[in-house]
Amino acid sequence: MPDQNPRQRAWVEVSPAAIKANAGALCQHLTPGAELMAVVKADGYGHGAVTVANAALDGGATSLGVATLQEGLELRHSGLKAPILLLSNLCDPEELRTCLEWQLMPTLSSLGDAKLCHALAEDSGRRFKVQLKIDTGMSRLGCALDDGAETTQAIQRLKNLVLEGIYSHLACADDRNMTVTQQQQQRFQSVLEALPQRGHGLCRHLANSAGTLLEPNLHYDMVRVGLALYGHSPASHLSDVVPLRSALAVRAKVTLIREIQAGTGVSYGHQYISPHARRLAVVAIGYADGVVRALSGQIDALHCDKRLPQVGAITMDQLLIDATDAPDLHPGSIVTLLGRDQNVEITPQNWSDRCQSIPWEILCGFKHRLPRVEV
């Protein structure tokens, strides 16, 4: 069987150096004493969770955040020893027992969650590290605000549990209007102030990427950073706060060049009818790889600093670009769909603006049939 070339068709390039540099820049931005949790859920936002975790820890992160048990186990199986917080709720005793065995910290949203974890720990003869989430305005996971202080102290009395942290999540930190964010912080603070010594001794954390860039007083003991770690600002007004480098590029090869005449329909549905004779390049990537079909006719590909417009409907495995102004483009040439090509860059925000999405969804959308190549 021939060797599998990861650059045979289309691929995602990931720069661990950029991740490390972003982690370092974010750490320098934090208030003294605050630590950085690298959020590497969803396979490190499509970059590769193990790659990102190692690079972020090298850059100064002290802990890792994931969404699922399997994501946490992947990191442990790779040999990573750093603290890992599961940001989603687990309710199955076997899954929680696995967390205990592999030293993964589950998120608790109630005293009932805590008692289940305590019983499992008691049976095993070990102590179970956990964290408590408070709902301050997301209306998603977390203990009810009015029960926050009482639940915190009740958990601390359970001898087989170690309450490592207390946290909440901001809903609107990327909004220029800070009303909701300030309200959430006040609610979180009210829980802390109802605790002995205002919760000192617990790791208190509230800020996501936007909160981290927005206000130093949101940093507390730790921040949980996802999007910014990968080199992207969560909002335009926060883009210059910390120097960040994009860590991902999507590239693909041209497989065919063809000439068409004026009036020729292109791709499914003939959404594009060529107004003039054109030179088209077929590129080996499509919506099954994560290039959203809703972007048809709205994006460019880069080649030697030239922007070449994509034309016609994006199909499952292929798309077409107008190469009329790129006579040096030929079968085997590489084009960049996302990321930097020499001096020009296409960002996830560029794509998300055109298909009513968000950069997070764009980055998480690249399928695993696209090999990840570290550069």
Question: What value does the mean pLDDT take over residues 268-282?
Answer: 97
The catalytic residue among 41, 129, 133, 253 is: 41
What does the pLDDT look like over 335-359, one tens digit per residue?
999 999 989 999 999 999 999 999 9
**Does one domain contain both 184 and 283?**
no
Examine the pLDDT at 1 and tell me if it is beyond 80. no
User: Does the pLDDT value for residue 248 go beyond 50?
Assistant: yes
Tell me the residue type at 80. Answer: L
From 81, 133, 220, 268, the catalytic residue: 268
Do 222 and 282 share a domain, yes or no? no
Here the CATH number for the domain that contains residue 278 is 2.40.37.10
Q: Looking at the domain assignment, is residue 355 inside a domain?
A: no
Query: How many helices and strands, by DSSP H and E, does the chain display?
Result: 11, 19
Interval 214-239: pLDDT, tens: 999 999 999 999 999 999 999 999 99
Last residue of one domain, picked from the residues 217, 238, 259: 238
Write the pLDDT tens digit of every residue in 277-336. Answer: 999 999 999 999 999 999 999 999 999 999 999 999 999 999 999 999 999 999 999 999
Q: Please check whether residues 85 and 217 belong to one and the same domain.
A: yes
Which amino acid is present at 153?
A: Q
| Range of the structural domain that residue 64 is part of | 15-238
Please report which confidence band the pLDDT of residue 199 belongs to, taking 50, 70 and 90 as the band edges. Answer: confident
Give the pLDDT mean for 13-30: 98
169 part of a folded domain: yes
Indicate if the pLDDT at residue 3 is higher than 70: no
Residue 28 CB partners (closer than 8 Å, separation 6+): none
Active site residue 81: no
CATH number for the domain spanning 178: value is 3.20.20.10
Cβ proximity of 10 and 47 under 8 Å: no
Whether 374 is covered by a domain: the verdict is: no
Task: Report pTM.
Answer: 0.95
State the pairing for strand pair 10-14/248-260: antiparallel
Residue with tokens 């850059």: 59
Overall domain count for the chain: 2
Q: How far apart (Å, rounded) are the C-alpha atoms in residues 336 and 323?
A: 13
Whether 139 is in a domain gets the answer yes
Same domain, 65 and 125: yes
Enumerate the H helices of the chain as residue ranges.
Answer: 16-29, 41-45, 49-58, 69-77, 93-102, 111-124, 148-156, 179-193, 209-214, 348-354, 359-364
- The C-alpha atoms of residue 145 and residue 123 are separated, in whole angstroms, by 31
Mean pLDDT of the chain: 96
Q: Is residue 291 domain-shared with residue 147, that is, in the same domain?
A: no
Copy the structure tokens of residue 127.
């102590």
pLDDT of residue 155: 97
**pLDDT band, very low/low/confident/very high, at 152 (cuts 50, 70, 90):** very high
What is the pLDDT, as a whole number, of residue 4? Answer: 78
208 occurs within a structural domain: yes
Quick check: 2 pLDDT over 50? no
253 catalytic? Reply is no
Note the pLDDT of residue 6.
Answer: 87
